[in-house]
Amino acid sequence: MESASETLTLADLSRVLVAQAVAVEGEDEIAKRLQELGFCPGTEVRFERQAPFGGPIILSLRGYQLALRPSEAKRVRVQGISGAGSEG
């Protein structure tokens, strides 16, 4: 089971439900865009749902919802802050 202080990626977020962004990996255009979308250190991110068959992950942050591809979600490091375990 994951520790609340363990650093995960957004792709792992369904296990903790609510997390705080720690960092965005990389220096390319995708990393810059993720930062522009609000994935800055300290930002609270909530897992909402994931599309079937490994599809996009729906997240809530800064008052809006956002869908990310799993490959993009793996680039955002987060630290779980509540809700250990997944629904269902």
User: Quick one: pLDDT at residue 58?
Assistant: 95
Task: Quickly count: other Cβ atoms within 10 Å of residue 54's Cβ.
Answer: 10
Domain ranges of the chain: 7-82
Contact between 21 and 42 (Cβ < 8 Å): yes
- How much of the chain exceeds pLDDT 70, in percent? 86
User: Quick one: pLDDT at residue 7?
Assistant: 84
Q: Which residues in 33-49 are b (16+ Cβ under 10 Å) and which e? A: ebeebebeeebebbbee
The verdict on domain 7-82 having CATH code 2.30.30.90 is: yes
Residue 36 confidence class, pLDDT cut points 50, 70, 90: very high
| 32: pLDDT strictly greater than 50 | yes
